[in-house]
C-alpha cells in the first residue's frame, strides 16, 4: 500500500500488479493441471513459488494463484487472444519448473494494456483464486 | 443637388455629386449589415461555442478529493530515498499528474478510488460502480482508463494536456455507462 494511503479502505479486487510484467513481453504462468487443479502439481510448484518470492526486495510471501482455463486465454470473449505456450524451465532442484508456461503480449499492446487485459480474463466468470491456505479454490 | 420638375417632386432626392444608390443596392447593403450583425450576435452565445473552447477555471470537487490528494502527496518518493521502490511510493511526476487528473475529474468519477502504485511508479486508481469497475492509470504523460461494464471491457488512452474538457468528457461518459441502469433489466411490478 502507498506510504501515505494507509488509511484508505481495503480493495476487494485482484491487485493489478500481479499481472504487470515490466521486463519482458512474455508473461509467466504456471500450468496447474490438465483439466483442473492437480494437487500433485500444486505440491511441485509451491516451493518454487515460495523461492521466487524471496528474489524480491523486500521478499514477498506467496499467497496462491489466480486460476483460469487455458481456453479462455486462447479464445476470450473480448479482446485479443493470448494463447498459453508451454515453456518448461530446465534446471536443478527448485530452479527447474516443468509446468512453466507463458503468454505473449500482442504487438499493439503496451504493458499496461496487457496487464489490464489479463486481469480482466483472470477475474471473468469461471475464474477462481486458489489460495495456498484454502481448499477448494475460492471465487475472486 | 438635383432639382426635379413639379410633376416629379414626389420623388425628389438628394445625392452626392456623381453618386447614385439604387433601391436594390440599399436593400442589399441593409441585408448584408443585418446578416453580419446577426452572425456576430449569434457567435457570442456560449451554447454555440465548441465545448473544448469552454474552460472551467475551477471544476467542482468530489467530497473525497482532499483526502485522496493528501494520500498522493504523502506518497511521493522522497528525494533522499536510497532503496528500491517496493510499491509504497509514487514518482513525483506521476503524483503531480494524478493530482491534476483528480482535480479535473473528481466530480465525474464514480466514487472514491482505491489508489496504489504500479511497478513503474505511476498511480493506479480502482473504482467500483453499479455496473462494473473502472481502473485508471495516471502517468506523467497519459491516462489509461479501463472500464469493465457488464463484463465488457472498454479501454481509452488519453494524453494529459491542458485541455481538461475532453478528459472530463471521456471520464464522464464512462462513469455514466457504469452508473446507468439498463431499462431492459428493470422488472415489471404487479
Please state the domain extents for chain A.
Answer: 19-131
- Per-residue pLDDT, averaged over B158-178, amounts to 89
Mean pLDDT along residues B17-29: 68
Same structural domain for residues B125 and B48?
Answer: no
> Both B177 and B102 in a single domain?
yes
Together in a domain, B79 and B118: yes
Q: Please report, in angstroms and rounded to a whole number, the separation of the first and last CA atoms in chain B.
A: 90
pLDDT at residue A22, as a whole number: 86
Record the pTM: 0.77
Under a CB-based contact definition with an 8 Å cutoff, are residues B172 and B62 in contact? no
Q: What is the pLDDT of residue B28?
A: 80
| pLDDT at residue B8 in the model | 44
Of B114, B124, B155, the CB nearest to A8: B114
Nearest chain A CA: its distance from B152 CA (Å):
7
Same domain, yes or no, for B79 and B169?
A: yes
CB of A108 within 8 Å of a chain B CB? The answer is no
Please report residues of A whose CB lies closer than 8 A to that of B87. Answer: 1-2, 17
**For residue B125, is it within any domain?**
yes
Q: A57: pLDDT confidence band, cut at 50, 70 and 90?
A: confident
Residue whose entry in the numeric block shows the C-alpha cell 446577426: B38
Based on the fold, state whether residues B84 and B156 are members of the same structural domain: yes
For A50, the 3-state DSSP assignment is helix
Whole-number Å distance between alpha carbons of B135 and A67: 21
Beta-strand ranges (E) seen in B81-179 are 114-117, 123-129, 132-138, 142-149, 152-159
B90 contact residues in A (CB cutoff 8 A): 2
Residues of B in contact with A12 (CB under 8 A): 128
What A119-123 contacts at long range (C-beta under 8 Å, 24+ apart), as own/partner pairs, is A119/A14, A119/A16, A119/A18, A119/A19, A120/A78, A120/A79, A120/B146, A120/B148, A120/B153, A121/A68, A121/A72, A121/A73, A121/A76, A121/A79, A121/A82, A122/A14, A122/A19, A122/A66, A122/A67, A122/A68, A123/A13, A123/A14, A123/A66
| Residue B170, number of CB atoms within 10 A of its CB | 16
Q: Closest chain B residue to A5 measured between Cα atoms? A: B71
Res. B189: pLDDT tops 50 = no
If contacts are CB pairs under 8 Å, which of residues 32-61 in chain A contact chain B? 57-58
The per-residue pLDDT for A132 is: 82
Q: A66-119, pLDDT tens digit by residue?
A: 999 999 999 999 999 999 999 999 999 999 999 999 999 999 899 999 999 999
B88, B90, B135 ranked by CB distance to A16: nearest? B135
- How many structural domains compose chain B? 2
The verdict on residue B98 lying in a domain is yes
pLDDT of res. B39: 67
- Cβ burial A84-107 (10 Å sphere, 16+ → b, else e): beeeeeeeeeeeebebbbbbebee
What mean pLDDT comes out for the span A25-32? 94
Same domain, B171 and B100: yes
Mean pLDDT of chain A: 90
CB contacts, 8 Å: A58 with chain B: 86
What is the domain range of residue B33?
Answer: 21-54
Is-cis flag, bond preceding A136, omega within 30?
yes
* pLDDT at B180 (0 to 100): 75
Report phi then psi at A33, rounded to 5.
170, 170
> Would you say residue B4 lies in a domain?
no
Distance from CA of B119 to the nearest CA of A (A): 7
Question: Is the residue at B186 inside a domain?
Answer: no
Look at B119 and A113 and tell me if their CB atoms are within 8 Å. Answer: no
SS3 of residue B125 by DSSP: strand
What is the rounded radius of gyration, in angstroms, for the C-alpha atoms of chain A? 15
Give residue B57's pLDDT band: very low, low, confident or very high (50, 70, 90).
low
Residues B152 and B76 grouped into a single domain: yes
| Residue of chain B nearest A7, judged by CA positions | B71
- Judge whether residue B12 has pLDDT over 70: no
User: Cβ–Cβ of A16/B148 closer than 8 Å?
Assistant: no
**Residue of chain B whose Cα is closest to the Cα of A123:** B151
Check B71 against A57: CB less than 8 A apart: no
CA distance B17 to B13: 12
Cell triple for A83: 494463447
Please say if the pLDDT value at position B9 is more than 50: no
Predicted pLDDT at A67: 94
Amino acid at each position: 500500500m502507498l506510504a501515505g494511503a494507509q488509511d484508505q479502505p481495503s480493495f476487494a479486487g485482484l491487485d493489478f500488479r500481479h499481472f504487470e510484467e515490466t521486463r519482458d513481453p512474455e508473461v509467466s504462468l504456471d500450468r496447474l493441471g490438465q483439466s483442473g487443479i492437480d494437487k500433485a502439481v500444486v505440491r511441485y510448484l509451491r516451493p518454487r513459488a515460495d523461492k521466487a518470492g524471496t528474489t524480491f526486495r523486500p521478499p514477498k510471501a506467496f499467497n496462491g494463484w489466480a486460476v483460469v482455463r487455458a481456453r479462455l486465454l486462447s479464445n476470450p470473449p473480448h479482446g485479443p487472444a493470448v494463447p498459453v505456450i508451454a515453456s518448461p524451465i530446465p534446471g536443478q532442484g527448485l530452479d527447474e519448473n516443468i509446468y512453466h508456461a507463458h503468454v505473449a503480449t500482442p504487438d499493439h499492446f503496451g504493458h499496461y494494456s496487457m496487464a489490464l487485459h489479463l486481469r480482466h480474463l483472470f477475474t471473468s466468470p469461471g475464474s477462481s483464486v486458489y489460495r495456498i491456505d484454502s481448499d477448494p479454490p475460492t471465487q475472486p | 443637388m438635383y432639382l426635379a420638375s413639379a410633376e416629379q417632386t414626389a420623388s425628389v432626392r438628394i445625392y452626392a455629386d456623381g453618386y447614385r444608390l439604387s433601391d436594390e443596392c440599399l436593400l442589399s447593403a441593409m441585408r448584408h449589415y443585418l446578416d453580419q450583425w446577426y452572425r456576430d450576435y449569434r457567435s457570442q452565445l456560449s451554447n454555440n461555442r465548441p465545448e473544448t473552447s469552454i474552460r472551467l477555471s475551477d471544476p467542482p470537487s468530489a467530497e473525497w478529493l482532499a483526502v485522496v490528494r493528501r494520500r498522493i502527496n504523502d506518497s511521493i518518493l522522497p528525494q533522499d530515498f536510497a532503496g528500491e521502490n517496493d510499491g509504497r511510493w509514487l514518482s513525483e511526476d506521476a503524483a503531480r499528474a494524478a493530482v491534476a487528473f483528480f482535480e479535473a475529474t473528481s466530480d465525474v468519477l464514480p466514487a472514491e478510488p482505491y489508489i496504489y502504485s504500479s511497478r513503474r511508479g505511476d498511480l493506479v486508481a480502482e473504482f467500483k460502480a453499479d455496473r462494473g469497475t473502472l481502473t485508471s492509470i495516471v502517468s506523467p504523460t497519459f491516462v489509461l482508463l479501463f472500464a469493465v461494464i457488464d463484463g465488457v471491457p472498454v479501454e481509452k488512452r488519453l494524453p494529459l494536456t491542458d485541455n481538461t474538457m475532453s478528459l472530463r468528457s471521456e471520464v464522464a461518459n464512462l462513469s455514466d455507462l457504469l452508473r446507468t441502469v439498463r431499462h431492459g433489466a428493470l422488472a415489471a411490478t404487479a
